[in-house]
Structures are given as C-alpha cells and as structure tokens.
C-alpha cells in the first residue's frame, strides 16, 4: 500500500461507518465507556469541547435575555405522573431511587435500606420539577415571562447505547420558559430554534435543516416540537437540538396560574428546549475523516499545537524558548473575542507518533519547530482540514499576523465542505420507486453508505408516515417551516394532496 | 422606632442568627427549599454567584495545570465497598437506585420495575468511580501525574438540611489527581489548599485559617485532610474547602498501578479536593447584614444597578436613554479582566421597594437616575458596604473613571471588616475554666452569640478531643500547619505536653 493511502483510523468511513465512529471517539480521546452500564467517561479533550459549546451557547442564551438556575436532580414519581403523555414517554427508561442508605444484610453484605415513602426518579428532563417551582413564583402577569436555562446531567435508561449519541447519562442544557400569551411562547420557541441553528452553523460549522416534528415524533407532552437536523457522513440525519412549544399542558399539570391584566386567572404558556453532549458525536460524524477527529476552530479547546523537533539534547533549550516566545505571540492575538489557544507539546516521545496524536484529536493547526525553522524565523505548519502530509513553511511574522484569518478560513472550509456534502445528498423525489431505491442499498449483504435527505411530498397522514418507517426505516426528520414555498404536490405514498415537501431520512 | 433603626431583614442577626440566615437567603433570592426532601432550588441570583465562583476557581485550577473531565453519576455498590472506611463513611446517607423503569402495578398506579442486578449509588463523591478509570489509564510512570477536576452534582442523604450549608444534593467541584511519589501528591494537596485560601480571601473577601484535620475529622479513607475554616458572624466556624492526601489507599482499592522508572510495579499516590455551593452560605454569613446579602464585587453577578426615577411619563424616554449611555460607559471599563457588570432596572414599580430589593440582593453599587442628575451630568450612588441611606452625588465622569477603584475599595473593605471580626473573636486560652466560659452563653434560656476561635493547647489525644466535643459541642477545626511556631504548652484538658496551639470552635 502506498504511503498516502495509509490512514490513522481503521476501518475507514466507507468500510464500516459505525465502527469508524467508535474508533475516532477513542483515538481522539473524547470519551470511553464506563463500567457503569450505559454511562460514559468524558475525557479531558472531549470535555473541553463541551466547555467551548457551553461557553458559546451560554453567551447566546444570555444575549437573548435568559439566566441560569439549578433545580433538583430527583423528581417525585407523583410529579412525573401529572402529565399523562409525559410520564408515558419516560416511564420505560428511568433510574428509580427507592432507598436512602445501605446496611449490612443477613450475610454481612451491604443492601439497600431506608425505603422511601415515594420513589424518586432521576430527572430524564425537568419540566415537572421546574414547573412546581414556577407555580410558586408566578402570581401575576407581572411575574412573566420567566426565562431560565439549566446546565445539568440527565438520565434515560437506554438499552442500546453509543458514546455521545445515546447514553444512559448525558450532559445538556434545558431551557424552561413561561409566558403570558401563546404568541409570546411561540416567539420564544422559534427564537431558540434560531439560536440553535446559528450556533450549529457558525460555531460547529454544521449546516442544519430547521423545521417541525410530525405529531408522532413530538416531545411527550408538547403541542409542537421544532428541531434542527444535520446530515452525518453516512448520510443519516442527527437530531441536533429541539425547541418545544408546550402550550398550557405543563402549566395545567403543575398549576402555573397567573392573574391576567384584566384581573382574570389563566394558565401560563410554556416552552422547553435543549441540546446535549450528543452535539460532540455530531461534530465527529460531520467533520471527522479517516485520520480521526477534525475540530472546527470556533469550538477547539486549543487552536495550535507547537511540536518541538529536538534531535540533539543541546538544541532542546533554545527550541523550547523559541516555542515559548512563538506561543506568547500567538496568544496575544485574539480569535472571536478570546486569545488564540496554544499548546506546546514538549513530551519526550517519537515525533511522528506525537504529530499523529494531534491529528487524531483534530486540532486545527500543527506547527513543527526544528533548529532550521528557528534560524530562518520560519514556521512549518499543517492544517487539519488538509491532508496530514500537506505542510507549508512561512515566515513566523506572517503566520502570527494571519492566525485569526487562517482559523476563520479553516472554519469556513469545514462549513462549506459539510454544506456541499449535504447538498450532494439531498434530492427532491416524486416517485415511490425512486424513493425506495434511494433508501435501499444495492447489495443487501454488504450495504454501502446510501440515502440522504429525500425532499418528498406527504399527505400529513400518520398511515403513510408509518408505512415508510416500517418498510424503509426512514422517518420524517422535519416539516420545513416554509413548507409551502416549493408549491403543492402529491403524497409519495398515497398520492393525496400535499401542501409541500418534507424531509425524509434514516436517522440516529 | 426611628427610621434609621429599621432593617430589611427580620429578625436581626443578634436576635436569631439561624432564622436571620434563612430570611436573607430568601430575601436575596438566592435559593429556596424544593418539594423534594432536602434538595434546594438555586435561583438565578444565587446561581450566578456560583457561576462567578466557578469561573474564578476554574481559572486557578487551569493555571496550576489541571483539566476538566466528567465521570458517571452512578457508582456500583461493589466499587464503593472497595475502600472499607470510605463506604462506612457514606453508607448511612446515600441515594440508592434499584430499578430502571416504571410500570403499572395491580391498582394501576406506577411502581418501580426492572430491578437492577446490582444497586447503583448516586455519587456522594467520586474517588471510587474515577479510580476505576485511572486504573485503566495508568500503565507507566509516563502516564503520571493525572491532574483532573470535575464540576458536578453529588448527593448525601442528610436528615437535617439547611439551604447551601447542608443539602441532600449540592453542586461542587472535585479534583482527583494521581502521582508517582508520595512527595508529589503532598505538594499537590498543599498547592490546592493554597488555591482555596487565596480564592477565599481574594475573591470571597473571606479570611480563613488553614490547617490539618484531626484523625477523627478526616475524609473517610484519607491519610490526611487539609482544610480552610472561616468564621461566620455568629462566631461559629464553617469548613469552606478540603484537600485530601489519600496516600495509596484508593489506588490500592481501585488498582491504580504503574511501572516505575526502575521497571518495578507500584501503586500511585492520589489526592482529592473540593469546594461546594456551601461557599454561598459562607458568603451570606460572613458579609450579610441586617438589610440582607452583601456580595463582594469580585464574585458579584452584576456590580452596578441603575435605578431610573421616573415621576412623569414624558421623563421616561430621556432617563432611560441616559441610563443606557451610562451603562455603556461603565461596561466599557474593566474590573479584574472582565467588563463591569451593569443592570438597568426599568420595572414599573415603587422606587423605594425596588431599591430595597437590590439592597437585599447585595449588589455592590446602586445608582439612582432622576431628571436632575441627568441635567447635572451627575450620579447619585449608594455603596452596599455602607448604610442603605448613605448615598452621595458625584459627577458622572468621576464615577465612571473610578468604577474599578471603587469596586476594589468595597472588596477591600469587606475583607478587612471580616478579618477584624475574626481577630476580635479569636483568643489564646490556657485555662479550662476560661475555655468553658468562652464557649458557654451567660444565659442558657436565651443564648446570645458567643464564643469564637479558641487557640488552645492539645495533647493530640482523642480522649481530650472527645471530652471537649461532648461537654461543649466544640471541635478542633484544624491543626495549623505551622503549629510549632507559637511554642509548646500544656493540653487544655489533661495538662499533658502539647507541641503548639490548635483551633477550637463550634461549627456548622
């Protein structure tokens, strides 16, 4: 095999995409399974991605008038039961606390003791426990709106788990707002969808389609669920964020009642919305390549790694000094409001191996610093969005002066590449046979990557939706908010009237 | 009662300190009890204090070489049992997950179902679950040190709870490090104690004593526990942070073994350390006064509130514009590396009531903006560290230009005030009768605030320590790290030799 065909990750994406994903998550040191069923350990490099996601989103939430707070981890069973669809949606997969201490059993081993009068559920989401607080806080229309977000861990006892994409415990943010009118709550629901879309596209370089879920795919208890959907490199969709208009359902369940301007009494209108550590899985699957992770600069924990190339011991001190001064010069530059992040990796190990470690982690820029670079005042840099052997020398001054522009160029390149990929695999389809063929691999024994986003007409009927799901494991990812724009047509299944195309895809 | 004797909080500190505390926590909108036993709701103003604490500490952890990561919420019972003292310390107060779903019981009501093979404990602290990961990560001395911190929620099923000070669930950070040698682990343990002391004194304006816990007060499983202790205004001590040297105890329990430089095999040396939302309770009790919370500027969510005084409707627009421009000018100034935080409170409500709300919340500076101030280009400002009616007018230019200096002056004033209070109630005591009198209220029926920190000699005997605890409910808060400096003496209880004074106090 020629040198240029070798890749750091095996299998390649086109060989076995799910296994490639697991390998990248491991090789990039993002996370690993824990010995606790379904829970993961988020390793420092993976967690620092989450910190960058948190920082970016938190600033956007605050800029749109939201504040953070914190509510209890445990939800009394009776609270969860207050909203019928809601408890139905979560009862099958929740961690139940039944005891509050341990004591030695008959054989001397510790067993649960101190049985609780009422079981507590480890929150799978917090509508009901937060609703109980809002019911106390809200008396009058003057107390509205309440615009609160919470950064927290939640637990959903998934039986089949996958790092970041589906784990029993995950980290997320959940916004919970209460409003005076239906209109205001709708404005909020859409505003947050915009925040998510902007964040996904500008920070994560991840193009998304925004729209509304069909009734069958709604959050349990919601009147409407809006979502953003991204296309992974296996052409499946990933639901990357949801914003729910809850109507008065949860206000009725929790008793959030306010005195209106006219002196009457009315239930509040509420919303909830969230994104989770699942976004990290999305980053891997949108930008990763056969050499590992590729981190968009805007969410990169560090932007540049300096790799001192020390061949003789007496070179070490001057090269390290050169690296320190280069790092200081780079850190003095700003990238989107914060200093450029620089790591000097001075570990005493094989230089090639060290370089590949950073390629696999996906840091945007690698700079090798050897004695000749130092003498020439040059840097020898490789960009992660280009091939691993594509490196170029330039003057230190030019590199430092252009650092923010280079990072923006990488960010832009990743976004355009992902948008082109999505466009290439999005197709308007009008005939059932074409639709079925689009979602069926040519060779069932060894299915190649296939499908994508099919823009097709739908009669709004649950029967047609169900038929497609059963026959092709394809779901309606969303109904575009501007559905009508492309004009009406006929349902891809039954041929009845459709007001516009909706987005079909296989999904995570 | 004269106007100046009125206070926003009732009772006053000297009337009923515990009740005053609860009232301040409520009036400042920091937190409230939730309907889930022992759990609290941290309200936005309280949570933003925690965000400031997190930001300050996180920067100090990172500056000392630590990174963040995240480990599972659940700990298998068998893990907890691996360290005998550790499980003994936590078995009596832990939330136990025994089931993973809910199903309809005989009467149709939902009951726990899907019993787990092994119960899971909601983490009370994470030494054992993190130790299991480190055991996988560490092979050789080259993999050490590991310097990781986690921001997380933990649960300890306390029977008597108090907002922030003792709750079933609380938020904290927990550092967990692994080292090649005992010396290195000791250096880490002390380094973090220094970080905590510096943070408490410089950010929280909270003077602390640092030292070592006696064997009876150690963290379950630790070889040594170092701590910082602060004096509250009722002269009781609050343990504000702990840093544990764990020796090889937890490495042995978890199997963290590394190949040494010489090719042998050795258990790693570990440390753990944490501070929690308890610090917010400490802030209330150190700085709060009879009008509510007093927030030190370095951890204040906002530094200045602008209170438009609108008497006629046509004045509203120009006054609001003036406020906006004043806010912009203030936000353009920097305070300890971040923009000055400004809120404009334009709510349409009674101006006096509004002002008192901000006094109770403890914002450092209040500025009233009326038509005359606007005309004169003046601001009328009140500092929270002074009396609520002590307000002064100055030119807008001088106020804006001096904002960082004013905030630093408030910070310094709070710190000096707290230090003077601690000094005034710290006493070297050598006779048992004086010691007992110091910790005994004159009137048992209506105990006034009494006691403080007694610096007394101790023979290092558990019997004498126990006698003091039983008779006076006084504990040794810490053994100063420089204990020998004051010279030797005789134990306050038994008269045997003591190498130096230790710190006695009643405590939270």
The pair of three-digit structure tokens given for residue B454, joined into one six-digit string: 């007694």
Cβ of residue A98 closer than 8 Å to a chain B Cβ: yes
Given this model, what pLDDT does residue A4 score? 55
Cβ of residue A96 closer than 8 Å to a chain B Cβ: yes
- Is a pLDDT exceeding 70 seen at residue A5? no
Chain-chain contact of B35 with A102 (C-beta, under 8 angstroms): no
Chain-chain contact of A152 with B157 (C-beta, under 8 angstroms): no
Q: Distance of alpha carbon B85 from its chain centroid, rounded? A: 26
Cis bond before residue B133 (omega within 30° of 0): no
Largest CA distance in chain A: 83
**Which residues of chain B have a CB within 8 Å of the CB of A148?**
44
Concatenated DSSP letters of B271-320 = EEEEEETHHHHHHHHHH-BTTB----GGG-S-SEEEEE--SSGGGHHHHH
In this structure, which CATH number among 1.10.30.50, 3.20.20.150, 3.30.300.30, 3.40.50.800 belongs to the domain A300-416? 3.40.50.800
Chain-chain contact of B110 with A171 (C-beta, under 8 angstroms): no
Residues A22 and A16: beta-carbon distance below 8 Å: no
Tell me the CATH class for B426-505. alpha beta
The pair of three-digit structure tokens given for residue B254, joined into one six-digit string: 């978890």
Closest CA to B300 of B336, B255, B262: B336
Chain-chain contact of B70 with A157 (C-beta, under 8 angstroms): no
CATH code at A29-84+123-287: 3.30.930.10
Task: For residue A335, give the H/E element and its range.
Answer: strand A334-335
Give the distance from residue A69's alpha carbon to the nearest chain B alpha carbon, in angstroms.
5
pTM (2 decimals)? Answer: 0.96
**Residue A84: pLDDT band with limits 50, 70, 90:** confident
CB nearest to A97's CB, from B50, B95, B111: B95
Specify the higher pLDDT residue, B278 or A35.
B278
d(CA A271, CA A191): 11
- Is a pLDDT exceeding 60 seen at residue A229? yes
Closest CA to A266 of A186, A190, A178, A147: A178
Torsion sign over Cα B101, B102, B103, B106:
positive
Residues B82 and B128: beta-carbon distance below 8 Å: yes
Given this model, what pLDDT does residue B443 score? 85
pLDDT for A197-227, tens place per residue? Answer: 999 999 999 999 999 999 999 999 999 999 9
**Which residues of chain B have a CB within 8 Å of the CB of A169?**
72-74
Closest CA to A149 of B36, B298, B48: B48
Cβ of residue B172 closer than 8 Å to a chain A Cβ: no
Cβ of residue B280 closer than 8 Å to a chain A Cβ: no
The ipTM (two decimal places) reads: 0.96
Q: Is A40 helix (H, G, I), strand (E, B) or coil?
A: strand
Mean pLDDT for each consecutive 10-residue tract of chain B (508 residues)? Answer: 72 96 98 93 98 98 98 95 89 96 91 96 97 97 97 94 96 98 98 98 98 95 97 98 98 97 97 98 98 98 95 92 96 96 93 95 96 91 95 95 98 98 98 97 86 98 97 97 93 97 97
pLDDT for A256-265, tens place per residue? Answer: 999 999 999 9
Residues B51 and A68: beta-carbon distance below 8 Å: yes
**Which residues of chain A have a CB within 8 Å of the CB of B79?**
35
Chain-chain contact of B87 with A102 (C-beta, under 8 angstroms): yes
CB nearest to B97's CB, from A72, A95, A111: A95
CB nearest to A69's CB, from B47, B67, B114: B47
- Is a pLDDT exceeding 80 seen at residue A245? yes
Q: What is the DSSP letter of A166?
A: B
Could you give phi then psi for residue A230, rounded to 5 degrees? Answer: -115, 155
Give the distance from residue A112's alpha carbon to the nearest chain B alpha carbon, in angstroms.
7
Closest CA to B238 of B283, B205, B273, B201: B283
**Which residues of chain A have a CB within 8 Å of the CB of B119?**
99, 111-112
Residues A51 and A301: beta-carbon distance below 8 Å: yes
Cβ of residue A121 closer than 8 Å to a chain B Cβ: yes
Chain-chain contact of B110 with A91 (C-beta, under 8 angstroms): yes
Which residue in chain A is spatially nearest to B42 when comparing CA positions? A70
Give the distance from residue B396's alpha carbon to the nearest chain A alpha carbon, in angstroms.
27
Given this model, what pLDDT does residue B4 score? 55
Topology at the third CATH level for domain B17-287: BirA Bifunctional Protein; domain 2 (3.30.930)
**HEC string for A201-264:** HHHCCCCEEEEECCHHHCCCCCCEEEEEEEECCCCCEEEEEEEEECCCHHHHHHCCEEECCCCC
The pair of three-digit structure tokens given for residue A297, joined into one six-digit string: 């600069």
Specify the higher pLDDT residue, B106 or A45.
A45
Contacts of B13 (CB under 8 A, 6+ apart): B20, B233, B234, B288, B289, B290, B449
Chain-chain contact of B87 with A72 (C-beta, under 8 angstroms): no
Domain chopping of chain B, boundaries: 17-287, 304-402, 426-505
- Is a pLDDT exceeding 60 seen at residue A3? no
The number of beta carbons lying within 10 Å of the beta carbon of residue B158 is 16
Chain-chain contact of B95 with A100 (C-beta, under 8 angstroms): yes
d(CA B395, CA A372): 60
**Residue A412: pLDDT band with limits 50, 70, 90:** very high
pLDDT for A348-383, tens place per residue? Answer: 888 899 999 999 999 999 999 999 989 999 999 999
Cβ of residue A75 closer than 8 Å to a chain B Cβ: yes
Concatenated DSSP letters of B155-221 = E---SS-BTTTB-SEEEEEEEEEEESSHHHHHHHHHHHHHHHHHIIIIIS---EEEEE--GGGS-TT
Torsion of Cα atoms, B311 then B316 then B319 then B324, to 10°:
140
B385: phi > 0 → left, psi -120 to 50 → alpha, else beta; which? alpha
Rg (CA), chain B: 26
CATH code at B304-402: 3.40.50.800
In this structure, which CATH number among 3.30.110.30, 3.40.50.150, 1.10.3470.10, 3.30.413.10 belongs to the domain A424-505? 3.30.110.30
Per-residue CA distances from B498 to B283, B483, B484, B491 (Å): 34, 10, 9, 6
CB nearest to B91's CB, from A70, A110, A119: A110
Cβ of residue B257 closer than 8 Å to a chain A Cβ: no
The pair of three-digit structure tokens given for residue A354, joined into one six-digit string: 């060290």
d(CA B86, CA B63): 31
Given this model, what pLDDT does residue B370 score? 92
Per-residue CA distances from A164 to A25, A40, A148, A364, B459 (Å): 9, 8, 25, 22, 55
Given this model, what pLDDT does residue B5 score? 66
Chain-chain contact of B51 with A68 (C-beta, under 8 angstroms): yes
Could you give phi then psi for residue A344, rounded to 5 degrees? Answer: -105, 120
The residue-averaged pLDDT of A274-303 equals 98
**Which residues of chain A have a CB within 8 Å of the CB of B74?**
36, 39, 95, 169
Q: Is B368 helix (H, G, I), strand (E, B) or coil?
A: strand
CB nearest to B101's CB, from A41, A92, A169: A92
**Which residues of chain A have a CB within 8 Å of the CB of B42?**
69-71
Query: Identical fold at B304-402 and B426-505?
Result: no
H helices of A392-502, where?
Answer: 396-401, 403-424, 432-438, 462-472
Chain-chain contact of A36 with B169 (C-beta, under 8 angstroms): no
């Amino acid at each position: 095999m020629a040198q240029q065909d070798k890749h750091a990750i095996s299998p390649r994406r086109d060989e076995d995409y799910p296994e490639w994903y697991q390998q990248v998550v491991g090789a990039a040191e993002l996370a690993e399974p824990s010995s606790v069923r379904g829970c993961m350990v988020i390793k420092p490099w993976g967690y620092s991605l989450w910190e960058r996601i948190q920082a970016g989103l938190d600033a956007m939430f605050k800029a749109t008038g939201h504040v953070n707070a914190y509510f209890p981890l445990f939800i009394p069973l009776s609270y969860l039961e207050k909203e019928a669809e809601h408890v139905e949606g979560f009862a099958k997969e929740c961690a139940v606390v039944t005891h509050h201490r341990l004591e030695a059993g008959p054989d001397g081993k510790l067993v649960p003791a101190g049985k609780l009068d009422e079981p507590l559920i480890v929150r799978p989401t917090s509508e009901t426990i937060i609703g109980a607080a809002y019911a106390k806080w809200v008396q009058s229309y003057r107390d509205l709106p309440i615009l609160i977000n919470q950064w927290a861990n939640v637990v959903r006892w998934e039986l089949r788990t996958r790092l970041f994409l589906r784990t029993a415990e995950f980290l997320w943010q959940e916004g919970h707002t209460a409003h005076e009118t239906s209109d205001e709550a709708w404005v909020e629901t859409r505003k947050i969808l915009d925040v998510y879309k902007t964040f996904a596209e500008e920070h994560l370089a991840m193009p998304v389609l925004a729209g509304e879920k069909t009734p069958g795919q709604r959050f349990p208890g919601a009147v409407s669920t809006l979502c953003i959907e991204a296309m992974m490199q296996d052409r499946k969709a990933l639901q990357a964020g949801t914003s729910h208009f809850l109507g008065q359902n949860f206000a009725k369940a929790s008793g959030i009642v306010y005195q209106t301007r006219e002196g009457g009494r009315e239930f509040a209108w509420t919303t909830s919305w969230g994104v989770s550590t699942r976004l990290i899985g999305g980053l891997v699957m949108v930008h990763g390549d056969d050499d590992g992770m590729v981190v968009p600069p805007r969410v990169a924990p560090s932007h540049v790694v300096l790799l001192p190339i020390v061949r003789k011991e007496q070179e070490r001190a001057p090269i390290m000094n050169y690296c320190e001064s280069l790092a200081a010069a780079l850190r003095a530059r700003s990238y989107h409001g914060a200093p450029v992040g620089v790591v000097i990796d001075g570990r005493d190990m094989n230089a090639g191996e060290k370089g590949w470690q950073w390629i696999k982690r996906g840091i945007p820029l690698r700079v090798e610093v050897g004695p000749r670079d130092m003498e020439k005042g040059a840097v020898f840099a490789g960009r992660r969005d280009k091939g691993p052997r594509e490196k170029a020398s330039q003057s230190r001054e030019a590199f430092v002066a252009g650092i923010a522009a280079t990072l923006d160029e990488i960010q832009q390149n990743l976004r355009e590449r992902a948008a082109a990929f999505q466009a290439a695999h999005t197709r308007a389809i009008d005939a059932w046979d074409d639709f079925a063929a689009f979602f069926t691999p040519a060779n069932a024994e060894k299915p190649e990557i296939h499908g994508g986003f099919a823009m097709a007409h739908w009669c709004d009927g649950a029967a047609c939706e169900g038929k497609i799901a059963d026959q092709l494991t394809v779901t309606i990812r969303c109904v575009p908010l501007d559905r009508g724009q492309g004009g009406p047509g006929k349902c891809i299944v039954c041929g009845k009237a459709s007001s516009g195309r909706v987005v079909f895809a296989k999904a995570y």
